[in-house]
Amino acid sequence: MAEISESAVRSVLEAVIDPVSAKSVVASGMVSGIATRAGHVAVTLEVDPARGPSLEPLRLACEQAVRAIPGVLSATAVMTAERSAPPPPPMPSARPARGGHAHGPAQAAPGGGRIEVSGVKHIIAIASGKGGVGKSTTAVNLALGLAANGVATGLLDADIYGPSMPRMLAVKEKPESVDGKQLKPIERYGLRTMSIGYIVNEETPMIWRGPMVSSALEQMLRDVQWGELDVLVVDMPPGTGDAQLTLAQRVALSGAVIISTPQDIALVDARKGLNMFRKVAVPVLGIVENMSYFLCPKCGERSEIFGHGGAHEEADKLGVPFLGEIPLHLDIRTTSDSGHPIVVAQPDSSHARAYRNIAGRVWKQLTANQRGPRPAPRIVTR
């Protein structure tokens, strides 16, 4: 299916008239950003905050107009009171974006100016509301599960506060530069991978401020020869702070997967993650419950230490897909720690199967978005 073009969106918005100015939202300069990804469209409207809630019908009219474009799966119009968020200052070592990128950092604008990687069909974020829930372990095994299902997959460790790929994939070598400009990703178990931990020493404490996080990630997206990939899995830094929000906003994500444990407290954090992606109109592909129940490695007995199933219930409540559950099992930890994640170390195990199934569900969702024209739009009269 052809991607929805920005000009198609703009042209339907030309018919949406702001009753106050009697001009279209385009002509009055309200449309400050348009982003389209796999049939999902986000429009940013810059508005006078004094008009407040009276603008809601106009916002809805914009969404309806966009939704009526054949092939559009979802439309979100967001009102902002600022024309554009200032682009983050580059890191001291940051090189300017290469020529030919119409979406370089200099053009950053809400809803527009997103970082895309040519040749990569889908970029997905693996996120968690807090650290220690198994986000990185899930990201690696999910990426390997995608690869096992025949999907060309890359893995970017964007968790620059605590990069874990060097350990989980037993990478000791440094990435090579091909032309003095771009780095070659390091291939492991059929994945093309990159991590800040490959470049800087894992033991070196790194102190990053928000803008630097996004700039470092930008370089790892742009300045790595990812080549042709169906999916690039991005292991996000844990949490839902400004740095994470900026990443979610700046990278052209096809969707996000939220990792949570079943405890109430983790679910509260997961909800924050979900809201963060919703705020920036990134589709949430679903929630994974990690450490769902304890499986005794000796006797195989199952204990529901944290009250299993919380994430499933939460997903249902929030109206997002539940992608699957992974038990707390010693083999999952030891295989990760030894650099041979379970999906490759024990491909016939039930755990490996669980990760492959989750990967299958993620892939299905990514491709479902592209399958055929959506049903005829409803005609709304009011």
Q: At what angle do helices 242-250 and 210-222 cross, to 10 degrees?
A: 30
Rounded least distance, CB 147 to ligand ADP, Å: 18
What are the tokens at 239? Answer: 């949490």
Rounded least distance, CB 298 to ligand ADP, Å: 15
132 binds ligand ADP (CB under 6 A): yes
| Alpha-carbon dihedral angle through residues 79, 31, 256, 96, given to the nearest 10 degrees | -120
131 binds ligand ADP (CB under 6 A): yes
User: What does the per-residue mask of binding to ligand ADP show for 333-352, with x meaning CB under 6 A?
Assistant: x--xx---------------
**Residue among 105 and 310 whose Cβ is closer to ligand ADP:** 310
What are the tokens at 186? Answer: 């390091």
Q: Which residues contact 176 (CB under 8 A, 6 or more apart)?
A: 183, 184
Q: CA–CA distance from 24 to each of 58, 111, 128, 381 (Å)?
A: 10, 19, 40, 20
Cα angle 80-241-194, degrees, rounded to a multiple of 5: 110
Binding residues for ligand ADP, total number by CB under 6 A: 19
137 binds ligand ADP (CB under 6 A): yes
d(CA 34, CA 14): 13
Among 114, 222, 329, 356, which residue interacts with ligand ADP (rule: CB under 6 A)? Answer: 329
Stretch that binds ligand ADP, among 51-59, 66-74, 275-283, 323-331 (CB under 6 A): 323-331
Work out the number of other CB atoms within 10 angstroms of the CB of residue 43.
29
Rounded least distance, CB 290 to ligand ADP, Å: 5
Question: Which residues 207-266 are close enough to bind ligand ADP by CB under 6 A?
Answer: 238
**Residue among 120 and 332 whose Cβ is closer to ligand ADP:** 332
Nearest to 18 by CA among 67, 70, 54: 54
Cα diameter, the chain: 73
Report the amino acid identity of residue 98: R
Rounded least distance, CB 351 to ligand ADP, Å: 8
Among 32, 44, 76, 128, which residue interacts with ligand ADP (rule: CB under 6 A)? Answer: 128
Q: CA–CA distance from 44 to each of 85, 87, 206, 356, 382 (Å)?
A: 12, 16, 35, 37, 24
**Residue among 90 and 237 whose Cβ is closer to ligand ADP:** 237
Q: CA–CA distance from 76 to each of 19, 35, 46, 196 (Å)?
A: 21, 10, 14, 34
Among 80, 328, 349, 357, which residue interacts with ligand ADP (rule: CB under 6 A)? Answer: 328
164 binds ligand ADP (CB under 6 A): yes
Rounded least distance, CB 234 to ligand ADP, Å: 13
Long-range (24+ apart) CB contacts under 8 A made by 83-88 are 83/32, 83/46, 83/109, 84/32, 84/33, 84/108, 84/109, 84/110, 85/109, 85/110, 85/249, 87/113, 88/210, 88/211, 88/212, 88/214, 88/215, 88/246
Rounded least distance, CB 337 to ligand ADP, Å: 6
290 binds ligand ADP (CB under 6 A): yes
**Residue among 18 and 325 whose Cβ is closer to ligand ADP:** 325
**Residue among 79 and 352 whose Cβ is closer to ligand ADP:** 352
User: What does the per-residue mask of binding to ligand ADP show for 71-110, with x meaning CB under 6 A?
Assistant: ----------------------------------------
Residues that bind ligand ADP (CB under 6 A): 128, 131-137, 164, 238, 290-291, 326, 328-329, 332-333, 336-337
